[in-house]
């Protein structure tokens, strides 16, 4: 079975803790998502004529100016009949530029995994961090703004059902 990968901006332990505390306080439950991140390139497989090393090298060569973003509100979208709760990140255009650069350097080396998506279509880019993959509550209006640094991008690889950072 081929390994799956994705490219993302990781969240710091401090930001992760604030988001988890917010979720726990508002929904009286532990947040189900383990690895908080802002996805720049959705899950993909490496094509046969490419290698993991090549993917890592290409992504590591993407240079960008670090910046500060913030989560300002919550939102939901549906995917395969499940409601996905997310924290919306500001500076959508900055993230979109990064996502486009990742796509440009990897486009010929990867094949997108369409299985997670309704109608097998990768949705258009939205700068967000997923908090719950099967949300059943009402989205609260109140949300505290949480700033976070955008300092690096990483590659996650699925291993034994878990997503781990490999770069």
pLDDT of 8 higher than 90:
yes
Predicted local distance difference test score (pLDDT) of residue 81: 86
Residues 28-77: tens digit of each pLDDT? 899 999 899 999 999 999 999 999 999 999 999 999 999 999 999 999 99
What is the model's pTM? 0.92
Q: What is the CATH number of domain 4-165?
A: 3.90.1140.10
Query: For residue 21, how many other CB atoms are within 10 A of its CB?
Result: 12
| Phi (first) and psi of residue 90, to 5 degrees | -75, 165
pLDDT of 118 higher than 80:
no
Residues 76-96: tens digit of each pLDDT? 998 888 999 999 999 999 999
Whole-number Å distance between alpha carbons of 48 and 45:
9
pLDDT of 167 higher than 90:
no
Predicted local distance difference test score (pLDDT) of residue 117: 79
DSSP per position, 23-45: HHHHHSS--S-SS-EEEEEEEEE
Predicted local distance difference test score (pLDDT) of residue 144: 85
- The DSSP symbol for 144 reads -
Percent of the chain with pLDDT over 70: 99
Strand partners of residue 148: 69
Contacts for 44 with CB less than 8 Å, ≥ 6 apart: 4, 5, 6, 106, 110, 111, 112, 113
Enumerate the H helices of 11-161 as residue ranges. 13-27, 52-60, 92-106
The larger pLDDT score, comparing residue 122 to residue 52, is at 52
Q: What is the mean pLDDT of the chain?
A: 93
């Amino acid at each position: 079975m081929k390994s799956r990968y994705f490219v993302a901006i990781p969240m710091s332990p401090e930001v992760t803790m604030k988001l988890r505390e917010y979720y726990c306080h508002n929904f009286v439950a532990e947040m189900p998502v383990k690895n908080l991140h802002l996805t720049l390139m959705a899950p993909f497989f490496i094509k046969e004529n490419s290698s993991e090393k090549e993917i890592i090298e290409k992504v590591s060569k993407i240079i960008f100016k670090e910046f500060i973003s913030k989560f300002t509100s919550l939102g939901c979208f549906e995917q395969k009949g499940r409601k996905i709760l997310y924290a919306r990140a500001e500076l959508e255009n900055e993230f979109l530029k990064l996502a486009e650069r990742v796509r440009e350097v990897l486009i010929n080396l990867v094949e997108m995994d369409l299985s997670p998506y309704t109608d097998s279509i990768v949705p258009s880019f939205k700068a967000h961090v997923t908090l719950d993959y099967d949300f059943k509550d009402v989205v609260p209006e109140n949300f505290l703004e949480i700033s976070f640094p955008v300092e690096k991008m990483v590659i996650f690889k699925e291993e034994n059902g878990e997503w781990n950072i490999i770069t």
